Amino acid sequence: MVAVAQPACADLDVALNTERQAGVVQRAGARLVVFPELSLTGYDLAAPAVAADDPRLDPLRAACAAADAIALVGAPVREDDGREYIATLAITGESTTVAYRKMHLHGEEVRRFTPGEKPEVLELDGWRLGLAICRDAAVPQHAADTAALTIDAYVAGTLYGAGREQATRRDGHMRDRAAAHGVWVVLSTAAGPSGEYRETSGGSGIWAPDGDVLVQAGAEPDAVVTATLH
């Protein structure tokens, strides 16, 4: 089972956000739990980098261990060479790794962050999950390059602004990626305030390989929806 969550986000409060996301993992009953872009800090481009071994992530590690789950969370990270990325961290009960680095930066992100170099696939229980962060999913070539690695699902943590136009754009991106490549699309996107965005669209959901939406949350924070992929 897969869960997509859009928890309320406390700006720059990694400890509180981790506690909230650990609670989601405990309640979701899912093998994979996906969270939005920069879910640990909120969308604040000045947020300090989060290290994989940061003790503030211990509640998430413990929750994943208890639930036999993997959580995909969003955070800024810094490499040993000093370069910084907008990243997806894969958290289990045993480890925390940088699973993916955002390739298609947007707007002011380029002033601080380095774009990731290549698509990435996370293998889980025989499934191949292609990873994306926000604008990646709006770029058809990113999905095409990721699908070329032979994936079963395209998994994105994003943030879309509020309003009907953004919601329509969000749903169109996910529908098109699913239908174009015949894969599941799994989307977690921010709801409520997130850093510099005081309003976001919510609408986290899961799209079937034919492009039809299977389940979808509304715009409210703290919603979680789940589905079993076949």
State how far the alpha carbon of 173 is from the alpha carbons of 14, 187, 207, in Å: 29, 10, 11
Domains of the chain: 2-227 (3.60.110.10)
Residues in CB range of 209: below 8 A, 6 or more apart: 178, 179, 182, 183, 184
Per-residue pLDDT of the chain (230 residues; tens, 9 = 90+): 999 999 999 999 999 999 999 999 999 999 999 999 999 999 999 999 999 999 999 999 999 999 999 999 999 999 999 999 999 999 999 999 999 999 999 999 999 999 999 999 999 999 999 999 999 999 999 999 999 999 999 999 999 999 999 999 999 999 999 999 999 999 999 999 999 999 999 999 999 999 999 999 999 999 999 999 98
